[in-house]
Every structure is written in structure tokens, then in C-alpha cells.
Amino acid sequence: MNILQGDKSPNSGENLAAYVKRIRLFLGLNQRELATIAAIHLQSLGKIERGLTAKLSSHSKAGLASALQVPVEYLEAVSRGTSIESVSKLKFCPSCWTPGNPADPLWMDVRANFCFICGGKLGDRCTHCQQTISSLKHRFCPFCGTSYKSVAFS
Ligand SMILES: [Zn+2]
Ligand SMILES: [Zn+2]
């Protein structure tokens, strides 16, 4: 899934109810259609959109994310009330990271600047074109083709 979906990312301050409703309308679905696609009860969706459900079950979260075609992280961010910047900012150690693997949560901590394993500086963008890294499922920068693993982060 492409997570670079600018128009579907949560607006700052948007809560779960407003977010789900906005994306549903964006996709041109009514509540019944969305509930069917997401495989959740219509009543559950109604509760979510009325702001009565603050925390999604993992089943609803996965179903809604796939039905709304957004990353699960977006739903988690709006549920927690955190801004998407703090969840979408990937940082990793280019020395210790194994290509194809997700970044270690310790690297992703907003306060972390250095690798907890080797002490090296963490990178969050392609040194060649300066585009921030959107997904470590990619081994190469999708913008310029530079390998994330081999580049020396400065
Ligand atoms: Zn390291
Ligand atoms: Zn690049």
C-alpha cells in the first residue's frame, strides 16, 4: 500500500469520528457500505462516527483501514490524538538496519538521535535527494533510487 496519500492523512486536531467520516465521504460511501466493506457492524461504525468509540478493536481497526484505504497508523494516530508527524517520521540506523525489516521502535522514539546498538547517528531521509523516508518496506529511495542501507548519513 502506498502510504504517501496526502489528502487522506489526518488533519491536525482531527479526532477519530471526524476522520472516519471525512474519508468515508471522500470515497463516496454511505455508512452501510463502509460497514460492509470493513466487515464491522453498522452500529459500531455509527458509534465511531458519533465519537462514542474512542478506541478501536484490532478487528475494526484493520477492517476500517483497508476499507478506507489508509494505513492502520493513521487510525491509531487519530485515536490517540497524536499528530501524524510523530507516527510517520521514520528514523533508523543505516548500519544496524536490515533491509526489508521494520525499524526498531527504539529508533523511532522522537527523542532518539543516535542508535542504541552502535551509537551511530540515526537517519530519517535520503541523503541524496533529502526526501524523508516514507516506508522501510522499500530498500531504495523511491525518488532517486539511492539505497537506504548503503548511504552514509551525515
Ligand atoms: Zn546502529
Ligand atoms: Zn533519494
Question: Per-block average pLDDT, block size 10, for the chain (154 residues)?
Answer: 59 89 96 97 96 89 94 87 61 85 82 90 84 79 82 45
pLDDT, tens digit, for every residue of 142-153? Answer: 888 888 875 444
Instruction: Tell me the domains of the chain and their CATH numbers.
Output: 6-81 (1.10.260.40), 89-154 (no CATH)
Q: Which ligand has the nearest atom to the CA of 123?
A: 1
Instruction: Single out the residue of 72, 10, 61 nearest to residue 38, CA to CA.
Output: 61
- pLDDT on residue 154: 40
- pLDDT on residue 85: 55
- pLDDT on residue 83: 59
Using only the alpha carbons of the chain, give its radius of gyration: 18
Q: Which ligand has the nearest atom to the CA of 134?
A: 2
Q: Ligand 2 centroid vs 26 CA: distance in angstroms?
A: 31
- pLDDT on residue 68: 95
User: Alpha-carbon distance 40 to 82, whole Å?
Assistant: 25
Q: Which ligand has the nearest atom to the CA of 128?
A: 2
Q: Ligand 2 centroid vs 61 CA: distance in angstroms?
A: 32
Q: Ligand 1 centroid vs 10 CA: distance in angstroms?
A: 32
User: Alpha-carbon distance 73 to 10, whole Å?
Assistant: 10
Strands (E), the chain: none
Distances in Å between the alpha carbon of 5 and those of 2, 54, 112, 128?
7, 24, 26, 23
Q: Ligand 1 centroid vs 65 CA: distance in angstroms?
A: 32
User: Alpha-carbon distance 118 to 95, whole Å?
Assistant: 8
Helix, strand, or coil (residue 147): strand
Q: Ligand 1 centroid vs 154 CA: distance in angstroms?
A: 14
